[in-house]
Amino acid sequence: MNIPFLPFTRPSIDEETIAAVGEVLRSGWLTSGPKMQAFEAALSEYCGGRPVRAFNSGTATLEVALRLANVGQGDTPITTPLTWVATANVMLEVGATPAFVDVDPATRNIDLAKLDAAIKPSTKAILPVDLAGLPVDRQRLYEIAKRHGVRVIEDAAQSLGASSCGQRIGAIGDFVSFSFHANKNITTSEGGALALPPDADPALCERLRLQGVRRFPDGEMDVDVLGGKFNLTDIAAAIGLGQLKRLSEFTARRRHLARLYFERIDPKLGLELPPADFENSNWHMFQPLLPKNVNRGAFIAAMKERGIGVGVHYPALHLFSLYRQLGFKAGDFPVAEDIGRRIVTLPLFPAMSDTDVDRVCSALSAILGKP
């Protein structure tokens, strides 16, 4: 009997959401319209009433946040090297030069103990990343930012549904960027959202989202800033509305599956497991580190032979060719480099069964338990 392939992630789209997409298609209004506005309103309510604007990607939200924070040429915003490359690419897009701070070996997030020393006069903003849905300590982060007078643009692409210091991510703070890519905890197929602080102008955010256009009641228009083409479609928003209603359900299921991994992974295999945080993390991904003597490529291939998908999230981005050209090199951020070489993403998504976890753990034992 053929065993179905188990991917490392898969979105859960219910029939009600599929029907809602059909209604949008039949309505004739496919691009940004009433569904997008309803999605923004629902996100705003989730984020405690603060303004939230929807975008066609989480990358776009970061770029617009940088522009709203006046980060540009000559600035050196700080982030972690252990993230999807988009976090740094958007800095280059606005003319800034990324600066990196190594990660904490336990949390795998930016090492807040090293952050103070890295902040310079050219540091207008810090972009922390909640790797795998485990939030950076917001209280400590904002104390550092306040001390130096810099903005915070939270790359919360992976942490919708998570919390820090008793507050859900997005409810407080400066700029907060979410992603709704197909592999995120909720999806719009592709998309993102930006929660705005009180001093940010939502109307300017909207103009930066769509070509800088300002429209007037008499039909006239003007363009007063350089904007992009970042608007979210109503088709995507319809998916997002259905997904957002299930966020707490999805988060609870992910936490349950993560607990099973901790219970059932054989400690003799030598895997370094992530922090066992079941209060704050939304468990976007479950990411152990392979033993140093294990070849990751061979491990991934062996898991695939057993019908199990494994991801890599992420290699240390400063070692990519683009960033080596900027002067970064191996050895600059040794903790991130070590984690980036050994990290693997095991299957974790709401539709997984408990027996799927058993299947993954059995495969781990078969592959890593060999003498």
Q: Residue 232 carries which DSSP code? A: P
Q: Let me know: does 207 contact 224? Beta carbons within 8 Å.
A: yes
What six digits make up the tokens of 316?
A: 């240390």
For residues 286-302, one letter each, b for 16 or more C-beta atoms within 10 angstroms of the residue's C-beta and e for the rest, the string is: bbbbbeeebeeeebbeb
Choosing from 114, 124, 146, 184, the catalytic residue is: 184
Cα angle value 286/136/58 (rounded, 5°)? 75
Considering only the C-alpha atoms of the chain, give the largest distance between any 2 of them, rounded to a whole number of Å: 77
Look-up of token digits 């955010």: 205
Compute the radius of gyration of the chain from its Cα atoms: 21
Q: Characterize 16-28 residue by residue with b for buried, 16 or more Cβ atoms within 10 angstroms of its Cβ, and e for exposed.
A: ebeebbeebeeee
307: phi then psi, degrees, rounded to nearest 5: 80, 30
Q: H-helix or E-strand containing 41?
A: helix 34-46
Give me the residue label for tokens 């936490």.
Answer: 255
Does the annotation mark 184 as catalytic?
A: yes
Residue 266 three-state SS: coil
* Both tokens assigned to 69: 């924070």
Give the span between the Cα atoms of 203 and 211, in whole angstroms: 13
The DSSP result for 114-142, as a single string, is: GHHHH--TT--EEE-B-GGG----HHHHH
Q: Taking a C-beta distance cutoff of 8 angstroms, is the pair 82, 316 a contact?
A: yes
What tokens appear for 340 in the block? 């980036």
Residues assigned a catalytic role: 184
